[in-house]
Structure 1
Amino acid sequence: MLFSHISDMHLGLVQYGSEERAQDVYDVFNQAIDTSIKDHVDFVIFAGDIFHVPNPNGTAIIQMANGLKRLKENNIDSFFILGEHDISRIRSTPIPYVYHNLEFSKYIGQGNPIEYKGVLIAGFDKIRKSEIPQYESKFAEIDKIAQVHSGHKILVLHQGITEFNKFAGELQSTDLPKNFTYYAMGHLHDTDIKQFNHLNGPVVYPGSIELTTSEGIKEAKKGFFEVDISGKDATPKWIELDTRPQFSFKTEYQELSKTIDEISEKIKDFTKKPIVEVIIKGGNIETDHIQAQIARLNSMVLRCFWRISTKQVSDSSVFLDRPNIIDDEMFRLSVDVLGSEQAASFAIKELLPVLSSGEIKEASEIIIENFEKFKKEKKQ
């Protein structure tokens, strides 16, 4: 038996206001669906962040619907949970529920295990860090069910595990139910697999199917996993998707012209125009010269960004005039500024994703909810 494990599609993401980037996300999503059909998988698991915002545009909704429809037409069932990007604080019914109601896909995000072709599948929607203690008993309940099930057991979660990323971690591996043979994870955008002695199967992150804004510009392979559960062990196989190339180059100001020559040579034969970032170091920098050099790449790239880096005397870290949006670094800097990991976690992991999506009302709801919680805690 074979299944696909896909996560963090972020359908509807429009980077840099570029329709080409929106289409890139749809293209790789459809690649994943096409490959799953071609390889005759028995079912597909979507591990959260189906959409980039809780109220996606019509194109994103239709793209997902068409993908699920094609799976159904090929007798391939699918299962999904919700990530934080799918869940609205002020919308009562998340959009993906529509697919469940139309029987295009089955929603499994409430922790109620189901049996499918002899496989036990259980899932939980994104759990906020403050809510995790409430789930200890639920994890214990499904672990007992998994312990007595004779076939494969799959747990689907959209969470950060500390052993994978200490800044984005919300759970430790020891918090997970131990009797599952495969842990289908979402949320972290890098591909990673770890096997822990205290768990019966691997913990697997496919990562996002395309580079998103929070990941910055870099060379990165993106894809999903096809998992063979024909035998005793779950064996994931990496399936790489054909994404748009992205490159970040560092150069001294005096070497900029030479670097532009090297970039031109590197990217001249690409079928998909890449996204390029050039980080420039040095003194006595003239922006007119930089812009003239960067302009030489315009016909060969989808987008080209340039940044000037300077070193701060008081800190060994390198700061850019427009800092890289890197989750770990933002969290570290937020802790430094706010003086509290709890406050930084709230700002970066809960408030920022909503604000960056333009969801002002949702952001207000989150702030009010957090303030009410703070008042209750102060009274206790």
Structure 2
Amino acid sequence: MQFSHISDTHLGLVQYGSEERAQDVYDVFNQAIDTSIKDHVDFVIFAGDIFHVPNPNGTAIVQMANGLKRLKQNNIDSFFILGEHDISRIRTTPIPYVYHNLEFSKYIGQGKPIEYKGVLLAGFDKIRKTEIPQYEEKFAEVDKAAQNFSGHKILVLHQGITEFNKFAGELQSTDLPKNFTYYAMGHLHDTDVKKFNHLNGPIAYPGSIELTTSEGIKETKKGFFEVDISGQEANPNWIELDTRPQFSFKTDYQEISKTIDEISEKITSLSKKPIVEVNIQGENIETDHIQAQIARLNSIVLRCFWRISTKQVSDSSVFLDKPNIIDDEMFRLSVDALGSEQAANLAIKELLPVLSSGQIQEASQIIIENFEKFKKERKQ
């Protein structure tokens, strides 16, 4: 028996305002569905952030529906939980519930274990860091159910685990129920698998299926897991998706012409036009010369971004060594500036994502909720 573990699809993301990038996300999503069908998986798990925003456009909604429909047509059931991008702070029914109500897929995000084909499945929607203490009892309940179950037990979460990413971590591995044989994670966009002696199975992050804006431009692989549970242990097998290539280059201003030649030679034969970033360092820089050189790439790239950093600035810049996830660096800088992890968490992890997608009402609701919490704490 095997199942697909897919996460952070972010359907509806229109990166750089580019329709081609929106289509890229749909294309790799459909690749994951097609591969799961071709490989005859027994079921599919979607571990949150199905959509990029809680109120996705019609195309994104239809793309997800068509994917689930094709799975059903091939007798493959699917299960899902919600990530923070799926959950509206305004009281409304999350869009993915529609698929549950139409029996296209089954929602398992409320922590109630179900049995399916001899496998125990339990999931929790995204839990905010401030709410985590409230879930200790719920974790204990699902852990007891898993302990008393003889087959494979899968826990689906959309959380950051500190041992994987100290900046984005909301839970430690020791906080998790220990009796599950596979921890199907979402939220962190890099692929990673770790095993811990105090847990019965691996914690696995398939990562996002495409590079999102918060990850920056970099050369990386994206995909999902097909997990073999035929034996006593769960064995995740990495399936790479055919994503649009992205490259980041560094060069000195005096070498810009040579660098553009090298970039051109590297990307000319690619089947998909890549996204390219060029970081230029130097003094006495003429932007007209840079623009003329960058223009040489226009016909062979989808987008090309460039930026200048003088040597004086670069030597002291915290961005000299670019972090793998830009959000992590922003969070670290916010903690330094605000002097509080709690305030930085509100700014970077709660307000920034909704404001960047234009959700003013959502942001207002977050501020109101935090103000009410602040007043309550002051009274105690």
Query: Which TM bucket (shorter chain)?
Result: over 0.9
Tell me the SS of whatever aligns to 1:264: helix
C-alpha deviation, 1:340, in angstroms = 0.8
- Cα deviation, 1:25-73, whole Å, max 9, x if unaligned, reads 0000000000000000000000000000000000000000000000000
Q: Aligned ranges for residues 359-370 of structure 1 at < 5 Å?
A: 359-370=359-370
Residue 314 of structure 1 deviates from its aligned partner by 11
Per the TM alignment, residue 311 of structure 1 is displaced from its structure 2 partner at its CA by: 5.1
Offset from partner CA, 1:122-169 (integer Å, 9 cap, x none): 000000000000000000000000001000000000000000000000
Aligned to 1:163: 163
Number of residue equivalences: 379
Q: What corresponds to 1:28 in structure 2?
A: 28
Q: How does 1:1-380 map to 2 (within 5 A)?
A: 1-310=1-310, 316-319=316-319, 326-380=326-380
Q: Secondary structure at the match of 2:293?
A: helix
**What is the letter of the counterpart of residue 113 of structure 1?**
P
Q: Give unpaired runs (5+ residues) of structure 1.
A: none
Q: Write the distance in 1 (CA, Å) between the matches of 2:166 and 2:71.
A: 36
In structure 2, what is the Cα distance between the partners aligned to 1:324 and 1:298? 27
* TM-score (structure 2 length as normaliser): 0.98
How far apart, CA to CA, are the structure 2 residues paired with 1:146 and 1:325? 34
Deviations 1:103-133 (CA, angstroms, capped at 9, x unpaired): 0000000000000000000000000000000
Note closer, same or farther for the CA distance 1:377–1:23 as it changes in structure 2 (3 Å cut). same
- Asked if the contact 1:4–1:227 (Cα under 8 Å) also holds between the matched residues in 2, the reply is yes
Q: Per the alignment, do residues 294 and 325 of structure 1 end up closer, same or farther by CA in structure 2, a change over 3 Å counting?
A: farther
Q: Per-residue displacement from partner, 1:61-110 (whole Å, max 9, x unpaired)?
A: 00000000000000000000000000001142000000000000000000
Q: CA deviation at 1:309?
A: 1.8
Q: In the aligned structure 2, how far is the partner of 1:9 from the partner of 1:43?
A: 17
Quote the Cα distance in structure 1 between the aligned partners of 2:137 and 2:191. Answer: 29
Q: Confirm or deny: 8 A CA contact 1:310 1:319 kept in the other structure.
A: no
Query: In structure 2, how many angstroms separate the alpha carbons of the residues matched to 1:278 and 1:214?
Result: 18
Deviation, 1:316, is 3.3
Distance in 2 (CA, whole Å) between partners of 1:306 and 1:135 is 45
CA contact (8 A) 1:274 1:303 kept: yes
**Structure-1 separation of matches of 2:346 and 2:315:** 26
Q: Per-residue displacement from partner, 1:163-207 (whole Å, max 9, x unpaired)?
A: 000000000000000000000000000000000000000000000
Match of 2:168, SS state, is coil
1:134 aligned counterpart, secondary structure: helix
* CA drift at 1:346: 1.0
Distance 1:339 1:78, change over 3 A: same
Q: Contact 1:309–1:318 (CA<8 Å) still a contact in 2?
A: no
CA positional deviation for 1:211: 0.1
After superposition, the Cα gap between the structure-2 partners of 1:325 and 1:153, relative to the gap in structure 1 and judged at 3 Å, is closer
Instruction: Give the 3 Å change call, closer, same or farther, for CA 339–233 of structure 1 in structure 2.
Output: same
Q: Which runs of 5+ in 2 are unaligned?
A: none
Q: Residue by residue, what CA displacement relative to the aligned partner does 1:187-243 show, whole Å, maximum 9, x if unpaired?
A: 000000000000000000000000000000000100000000000000000000000
Counterpart of 2:222 in structure 1: which amino acid? K
Distance between the aligned counterparts of 1:319 and 1:161, measured in 2?
24
Confirm or deny: 8 A CA contact 2:9 2:210 kept in the other structure: yes
SS in 1 for 2:316: coil
**Greater displacement, 324-333 / 161-170:** 324-333
Moved more, 326-335 or 303-312: 303-312
Please tell me the residue identity of whatever aligns with 1:299.
Answer: S
Aligned partner letter, 2:26: Y
- Give the whole-Å Cα distance in 2 for the aligned partners of 1:352 and 1:44: 31
Deviant stretches of 4+, over 6 Å = 322-325
1:319/1:121 CA distance change after superposition, 3 Å = closer
* Aligned-residue CA RMSD (Å): 1.5
Deviation at 1:318, TM superposition (A): 4.5
CA distance in structure 2 between the aligned counterparts of 1:290 and 1:74, rounded to whole angstroms:
53
Q: Does the 8 Å CA contact 1:7/1:207 hold for their aligned counterparts?
A: yes
Give how far 1:312 is off: 5.5
In structure 2, distance between residues paired with 1:213 and 1:311: 26
Amino acid at match of 2:18: S
Contact 1:8–1:207, Cα closer than 8 Å, also in 2:
yes
Q: Aligned AA for 1:80?
A: F
The offset of 1:370, in angstroms, is: 0.5
Q: Give secondary structure in 1 for the equivalent of 2:377.
A: helix
User: In percent, how many aligned pairs have the same letter?
Assistant: 89
Q: How much has 1:325 moved relative to structure 2? A: 7.1
- Distance in 2 separating the partners of 1:54 and 1:238: 29
Specify the SS of the correspondent of 2:156: strand
